[in-house]
């Protein structure tokens, strides 16, 4: 007896046999009027046919959004102090954005959707983002706003 996942490779005659098998086991556990049997058989056959017909399409539709494998680390633990783990291939980078696009053809938003990460999740190593804000200060962005404040006090 084939199991349900093999249904889509089987010819229609086997589908009928499958249906008969299900009906038989159903009858073993349930009381049914004889005239209800064809109706139940039809419903079960339809369900199998639906599974058979819909299987390939459903698989193709989810392929782009669902991960095909287990992530190397838990998605929410993928950002570390000095590196970000790519959940697609397990490699580590300072930032993932460019790697995702060049290696996996994914935008950050696609990647977050695939791994169920929040939209504001930063795919940047913690020390790297700290470094960047330090760089911003070093470049005088902090001073500039302080200067503006002083200027306002004078007038
Ligand atoms: Zn990768």
The CA-based diameter of the chain, rounded to the nearest angstrom, is 98
The residue out of 44, 63, 82 marking a domain boundary is 63
Q: How far, in Å, from the CA of 125 to the mean position of ligand 1?
A: 15
Range of the domain at 58: 4-63
My answer on whether 72 and 132 are in the same domain is: yes
| Inter-residue contact 49 to 15 (CB < 8 Å) | yes
Tell me: do 148 and 122 sit in the same domain.
yes
Query: Quick one: 37 and 106 in the same domain?
Result: no
| 104-121 burial code (b ≥16 CB/10 A, e <16) | bebebeebbebbebeeeb
Ligand 1 centroid–CA 144 distance in Å is 39
Q: What is the pTM of this model?
A: 0.46
Q: Is the dihedral of CA 18, 24, 25, 31 positive or negative?
A: positive
Same domain, 37 and 75: no
The mean-pLDDT minimum among 55-59, 111-115, 131-135 falls in 55-59
pLDDT mean over 113-122: 94
CA of 25 from ligand 1 middle (Å) equals 48
Helix (H) or strand (E) holding 84: strand 84-85
Please count the other Cβ atoms lying within 10 Å of the Cβ belonging to residue 48: 21
96 & 31 share domain: no
Separation of 107 CA from ligand 1 center, angstroms?
Answer: 12
Top-confidence range, 44-48, 109-113, 136-140 = 109-113
Residue 117 confidence (pLDDT): 95
Q: Output the domain CATH number for residue 148.
A: 1.10.10.1550
- Same-domain status, 41 and 77: no
CA of 5 to the centre of ligand 1 (A): 31
């Amino acid at each position: 007896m084939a199991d349900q996942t093999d249904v889509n490779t089987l010819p229609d005659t086997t589908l009928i046999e499958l249906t008969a098998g299900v009906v038989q086991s159903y009858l073993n556990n349930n009381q049914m009027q004889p005239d209800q049997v064809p109706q139940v058989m039809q419903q079960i056959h339809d369900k199998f046919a639906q599974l058979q017909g819909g299987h390939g399409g459903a698989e193709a539709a989810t392929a782009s959004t669902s991960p095909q494998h287990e992530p190397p680390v838990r998605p929410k633990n993928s950002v570390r102090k000095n590196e970000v783990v790519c959940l697609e291939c397990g490699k580590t980078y300072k930032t993932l954005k460019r790697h995702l696009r060049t290696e996996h053809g994914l935008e950050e938003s696609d990647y977050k959707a695939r791994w169920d990460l929040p939209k504001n999740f930063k795919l940047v190593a913690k020390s790297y983002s700290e470094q960047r804000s330090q760089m911003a200060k070093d470049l005088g962005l902090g001073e500039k706003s302080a200067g503006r404040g002083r200027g306002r006090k004078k007038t």
